[in-house]
Structure 1
Amino acid sequence: MNKELDAIALSIRSLSIDAIEKANSGHPGLPLGAAELAAVLYGKLLRHNPQNPQWVDRDRFILSAGHGSMLLYSILHLSGYDLSLDDIRSFRQVGSRCPGHPEYGMTPGVEATTGPLGQGIATAVGMAVAESMLAARFNTADYTIVDHYTYALVGEGCLMEGVSSEASSLAGTLKLGKLIVYYDQNKITIDGSTDIAFTEDIAKRYESYGWQVLHGSMYSYSDIETLTEQAKKDPRPSLIMLDSVIGKGAPAVEGTAAAHGAPLGKEKLAQAKEHLGLNPAEQFFVAPEAYAYFADRKKGFEKQEADWNTRFAAWSAAHPALRKEWDGFFEGGGIDRKVLDGVADPVFKVGEQIATRAASKTALNVFAKAFPNLVGGSADLQGPNAVALQDVRTYTADSRDGRYIHFGIREFAMAAITNGIQLHGGFRAFCATFAVFSDYLRPALRLAALMKIPSIYVLTHDSIFVGEDGPTHQPVEVLASLRAIPNVLVLRPADAEETAVAWRMALEQKDRPTCLLLSRQNLPVLQKADPDWKTLMKNSGAYIIRNTEGSPDVTVLATGSEVSMACEAAGLAAPQQVRVVSVPSKELLDTASDTYRKQLAGDASHRSIVAEAGVKQGWEGWVLDPRMDIVSIDRFGESGPAKKVAEHLGFTAEALAARICGKCGDV
């Protein structure tokens, strides 16, 4: 058996160094140093079927150290995934199925986009959470249909990044025993030995998190197999620390930082091939024994899934109600659109004063009742974020059937774990924090957008109206910064009714994340001038909320809490005829047809004013004179009662009315 595994490891090294050399770009150190782990993991340990990478009960493997992507591409090719040698030859080229770092949805067998270090292990935590939730809901006394492990490979860089600490701490608290992480302990980073910046005792650190910590050699198949089996027997998550040599097999660079992030170069490549027993003149060599081994294993891989399919069919026949629920869980994005269309929005009364965060809680619970797979939580802000789920249990180590997750004060890990739950399948996942702390979770939101997954981010306390907490908590720049991320739907509803529609829009998404920006302060439920406002909001991101009898003199485009301010200002600005447009989604409005945009804001000669309690960035193209006609806050806020802060910054209906009438200078 070791002979075949050696052939696989050799082939991984061969394919990796040649692909990196051909691309003149890449990271050979990890593929050379961890080839044995990939060989035994995919060859013997992983429960998977390369012919069906989406098999629901497969084990998941996350390459958290995503820079070593050629390790993953090589073993996916060798083990029979739909990844050809030609794909590998085009490593790091435009349009390649082997991009520089693993990208979800681009390469069969890649479970998550990784590369930003630390996010992979955090995403793996989310996948382990999802597995345990599914198992608790669908496994029965007579059949076990959810029973798989989540594996990850990390390096020193992953463990230095703070997100790995956040996520690992929570994983230990939750006792995620089906999470197994291999640590490629080569003690080298780009700048040299890890001793220059990283001297902590990793074993003690993870033991303190509540993990089982095991030790072995990267180059002992028996170590890897034995330790993995030992990990499976422990109710805690496991860190398997494997001593390794970066760049192993390339004598000129092995054990040094030079192996990390650059092609070997012609001479060192030839030297490495000679050392490995390869022909320096032959490129992209694969040992025949490697192909033969996986050809023999193909039937075994397929049988694993076939046996599960038989068991699943029997379970389905014995439990038809559960099977129906299962099918709903695995609809696109976790939401059955037919069910969603049948759920009525909560009803609010015009004139009722209610914060959009409170309205969000009402809407969330209406939808959560209809969708038992809608799961999530907040970063220790359940009350302030208003995201408590009614009549559900909290997810803990002792209650895997819980749906609400207390993430603790770990925004970054929270968002990455949410992504992992969403990626796993079977759920629609949300998380929540204050809008200003979206800066802590932004890298995970960015990856959600890149992966085209519909995670939901509830961001409350969205403006200077936070008040007394002051400028540290008043997110004046956040809206613009969130809108700057491609493929993110940012929704800032004006009132309770818009908030319910915003939640519906979020749940309708299948290929992009949504950010809901919600108010702390109460806002009036507004009368809508356009009876078709819900459709217009969903399709075009904006609609006329207050109209004029004739042609308007001025149009005010406003978002969130500023819509009610604009409606009040319109009344104060008489005899000016003022139309008010609510813009819950600037991105949707930006991409609406020219005809609809002109219908809302008039032609190029018509005066429009923008009102938003944040920086003006991004609104300049909507007005004739950005200096005069964008009412914004291009500075940090102040500490004080919300109303007083708004007055101090000139952000009131009276000030806006004066601006409409052309009677004041800058606000």
Structure 2
Amino acid sequence: MYKKQFTHKEFIANMRAVAIDGINNAHQGHIGMALGASELFYSMVGEVLKFSPKHPRWFNRDRFVLSAGHGSMGLYSLYHLMGLLTLDDIKAHKLYDSKTPSHPEIEKLHYIDASTGPLGQGVAMGVGMAYSNKYLSNQFNQKDFKIIDHNVFVLCGDGDLQEGVALESLAFAGTNKLSSLIVVHDYNNMQIDTSATEVNNVDFEKYFESIKFNTIILKNNKPENIIEALKKAQKSTRPTYIQVRTTIAFGTKVADTPKGHNGILSEKDTIEYKENLGLSHTNVFEYDPKAYDFGAKLLKSKANLYARWEKKLAQYKEKYPQLAVKLEKILNKEKSFDFSGFKFQKTNVATRDYVDEIMKFMDTHHQNFVGGSADLRGATKVGFDSDKNIKYGIREFAMSAINNGINLHSGLTTFGATFLVFADYAKAALRLGSIMELPNITVFSHDSYQVGGDGPTHQPVEQVTALRSIPNYLVFRPADENEMLNSFKYALALKNTPSAIISTRQPLKSFNLQKDDFKAAYYVHHARNAQVNLLASGSEVELVDKVAQKLAKDGIKANVISVPSLQLLLKDEKLIENLSLDKLPNFAVEATNDPLWFKLAKYNKFDAHLAHDFGHSAPGDFVYELNGFTKENILAKVKSFLSK
């Protein structure tokens, strides 16, 4: 008897059944993409994507970024039928600590290459991965030996391509000819409130051609056509955009309408839906055994890819041993930044000038890092003369998201830089980097009212506050060159925490007391029989030191404590005790509006003078004084504080 062959169409129907069961079981979810883009998930991940089931973090695997993270169940359903997720994992969709969270998370499942959900950022991270891929390929591939030869696939939706961060990063990708990047657009033309064309009537073919992409437009979503397009894209010398016409919430009563974006189906509608797909198994969480066999064959086709590359790597080590050693350090994410031969050439200058000296030393003495500024190298002093330098353009959000992608792709350390007041442009990517525990470093210069003549739009008062409020994100605000160097050393040693280093445009006095290891806080002046602690960071350390000197003349002895990292100080009970913060009244001064300082109030009497309003278009010293950052005002406040 003739035995009918199980087809990819039947397999995709089973994927849709798994997806709707998982979403229904969670009592909420996004059915639209999970059901509408099944052919895309199958073609991209099941058929084309190069990865290793047993070695999911294999470096030379293809990367897959689901930028439209709300479509996660479309991916999870495929992984389940391929044997990478259990049925219990599908049932645990959206539950605490499951492998199948609402939006993909890298720490939950090894087969996820980026945590996504905030639309547009997945596109930008994919661009970062492709940049890292190109950079490392240029470093290690030889004419006769391509040891790095993978692609970065990004699956995005209509919403992604309305977000500025995606458009910023795509322009960057075209400019930098990131040929390993393949962006697939799930073009269903529907979103939560409207059709996409009602709010974004863009000719994407012309748009992507204008930013130097290879473009492929598919009028249907047949897997054979998608696979052919993907294979064609892999041969392109430019990044590729593939548009695939799909139907949101395919096959349901809300298909091709805004209501199809999210929701669940009733039990009756679910059974009817499965029947309409041609499935004989309509019970919840029951699927055709042939679908599992089909998925197992997809997985088996990828089983030997890692072993082949390992054999190739062994040959590479024999032929290019020195390059192989450098490559393995990157693959193993080994970090080694030695500053033993470093010495500052300047003193008593703006702390951004110390950043300049550190960057120049790193450029000539260290490897395994890349970065630059958002078109502000001359102002922030962050950039390199070598190929380590990245020209992000005026794209702060994309810069930070691209750096997240570079971190996800490889063991390269990344730097970004802009003015502190523009941290808002980057913050969403900094937050996502903190969630993913990516140790990116961002230098923010021009840190206070002292920016002066550029006015309130450029004088940050709330930005340090906002940055410190991000969980798993460290802020350093150094007061002189040694604090700056030690802040860099500390940040470079971090493995799971991103950080910001804040620098000034105006010159600051050099105390040079933090000679060796980094300290979150330390005495700049330790008075015998002190009556009060004066604390400050960055620009204000010199100010409180002058206040302490005047207090001494008035018979009041004060300790002066520099606090390069308020967050680390607050976590260190021993340091708080050693600095007598629990024994003496404490008064803090900082040109930010950060209430975090008031956490010191639980140890002893506390008050602070902080920034309280926007600045003005006027010389920096004038604005500084206008907001009370003068020796006379702080002196009066401290005396009043002690008298209460």
Which bracket does the TM-score occupy, shorter chain normalised?
A: over 0.9
Match of 2:266 in 1: 265
Bigger mean CA offset, 151-160 vs 638-647: 638-647
Q: Distance in 2 between matches of 1:484 and 1:204?
A: 42
Q: Distance in 1 between matches of 2:641 and 2:310?
A: 73
Match of 2:119 in 1: 117
1:523 alignment partner, one of 505, 508, 520: 508
Q: Distance in 1 between matches of 2:175 and 2:376?
A: 18
2:463 alignment partner, one of 467, 478, 487: 478
Alignment of 1:584-603 (within 5 A): 584-593=564-573, 595-603=574-582
Match of 2:382 in 1: 387
Q: Is the 8 A contact 2:36 2:250 kept in 1?
A: yes
Match of 1:314 in 2: 315
Q: Is the 8 A contact 1:436 1:473 kept in 2?
A: yes
Note if 1:641 corresponds to 2:619.
yes
Q: Is the 8 A contact 2:128 2:406 kept in 1?
A: yes
The DSSP-based 3-state class of the residue aligned with 1:618 is: helix
Change (3 A) 1:280 1:44: closer
Q: Is the 8 A contact 1:610 1:623 kept in 2?
A: no
Alignment of 1:474-513 (within 5 A): 474-513=459-498
2:303 aligned partner, one-letter code: E
Q: Is the 8 A contact 1:377 1:431 kept in 2?
A: yes
Q: Is the 8 A contact 1:19 1:89 kept in 2?
A: yes
1:544 aligned partner, one-letter code: Y
2:517 alignment partner, one of 517, 521, 535: 535
Change (3 A) 1:380 1:527: closer
Q: Is the 8 A contact 1:345 1:500 kept in 2?
A: no
Q: Is the 8 A contact 2:64 2:154 kept in 1?
A: yes
Change (3 A) 1:2 1:37: farther
Alignment of 1:345-364 (within 5 A): 346-348=342-344, 352-364=347-359
Q: Distance in 1 between matches of 2:627 and 2:263?
A: 52
Alignment of 1:439-450 (within 5 A): 439-450=424-435
Note if 1:234 corresponds to 2:229.
no
Q: CA deviation at 1:448?
A: 0.2
Q: Distance in 2 between matches of 1:435 and 1:442?
A: 11
Change (3 A) 1:624 1:445: closer
Match of 1:274 in 2: 275
Q: Distance in 2 between matches of 1:433 and 1:100?
A: 33
Match of 1:369 in 2: 364
1:658 aligned partner, one-letter code: A
Q: Distance in 1 between matches of 2:394 and 2:604?
A: 39
Note if 1:577 corresponds to 2:577.
no
Give unmatched runs, 5+ long, in structure 1.
393-401
Change (3 A) 1:102 1:298: closer
Q: Is the 8 A contact 1:121 1:164 kept in 2?
A: yes
Q: Distance in 2 between matches of 1:471 and 1:154?
A: 38
Change (3 A) 1:345 1:501: farther
The DSSP-based 3-state class of the residue aligned with 1:14 is: helix
Q: CA deviation at 1:439?
A: 0.1
Q: Is the 8 A contact 1:616 1:630 kept in 2?
A: no
Q: Distance in 1 between matches of 2:477 and 2:516?
A: 14
Q: CA deviation at 1:234?
A: 2.4
The DSSP-based 3-state class of the residue aligned with 2:500 is: strand
Q: Distance in 2 between matches of 1:618 and 1:591?
A: 12
Q: Distance in 1 between matches of 2:363 and 2:531?
A: 44
Match of 1:399 in 2: none
Q: CA deviation at 1:302?
A: 2.3
Q: Distance in 1 between matches of 2:638 and 2:33?
A: 62
Match of 1:397 in 2: none
Q: Distance in 2 between matches of 1:664 and 1:408?
A: 50
The DSSP-based 3-state class of the residue aligned with 1:224 is: helix
Change (3 A) 1:288 1:42: farther
1:343 alignment partner, one of 323, 339, 342: 339
Q: Is the 8 A contact 1:658 1:664 kept in 2?
A: no
2:610 aligned partner, one-letter code: S
Q: Distance in 1 between matches of 2:479 and 2:372?
A: 24
Q: CA deviation at 1:76?
A: 2.3
Q: Distance in 1 between matches of 2:113 and 2:286?
A: 26
Change (3 A) 1:61 1:75: same
Q: Is the 8 A contact 1:20 1:26 kept in 2?
A: yes
Q: Distance in 1 between matches of 2:364 and 2:526?
A: 37
1:405 alignment partner, one of 390, 404, 428: 390
Q: Is the 8 A contact 2:76 2:90 kept in 1?
A: yes
Q: Distance in 2 between matches of 1:185 and 1:304?
A: 31
Match of 2:192 in 1: 190
The DSSP-based 3-state class of the residue aligned with 2:301 is: helix
1:145 alignment partner, one of 141, 144, 147: 147
Q: CA deviation at 1:217?
A: 4.0
Q: CA deviation at 1:283?
A: 1.8
Q: CA deviation at 1:432?
A: 0.7
Change (3 A) 1:65 1:2: farther
Alignment RMSD: 2.2
1:582 aligned partner, one-letter code: S
The DSSP-based 3-state class of the residue aligned with 2:115 is: coil
Note if 1:567 corresponds to 2:545.
yes
Give unmatched runs, 5+ long, in structure 2.
none
Q: Distance in 1 between matches of 2:483 and 2:567?
A: 16
Change (3 A) 1:607 1:535: same
Q: CA deviation at 1:379?
A: 0.6
The DSSP-based 3-state class of the residue aligned with 2:501 is: strand
Give the length in aligned residue pairs: 638
Change (3 A) 1:322 1:577: same
The DSSP-based 3-state class of the residue aligned with 1:522 is: coil
The DSSP-based 3-state class of the residue aligned with 2:183 is: strand
Q: Is the 8 A contact 1:607 1:624 kept in 2?
A: no
Match of 1:396 in 2: none
Q: Distance in 2 between matches of 1:663 and 1:326?
A: 58
Q: Is the 8 A contact 1:34 1:218 kept in 2?
A: no
Q: Is the 8 A contact 2:46 2:299 kept in 1?
A: no
Q: CA deviation at 1:388?
A: 2.2
Q: CA deviation at 1:246?
A: 0.5
Identity of aligned pairs, percent? 37
Note if 1:49 corresponds to 2:52.
yes
2:593 aligned partner, one-letter code: V
Change (3 A) 1:201 1:564: same
Q: Distance in 1 between matches of 2:619 and 2:611?
A: 17
Match of 1:558 in 2: 536
Note if 1:59 corresponds to 2:62.
yes
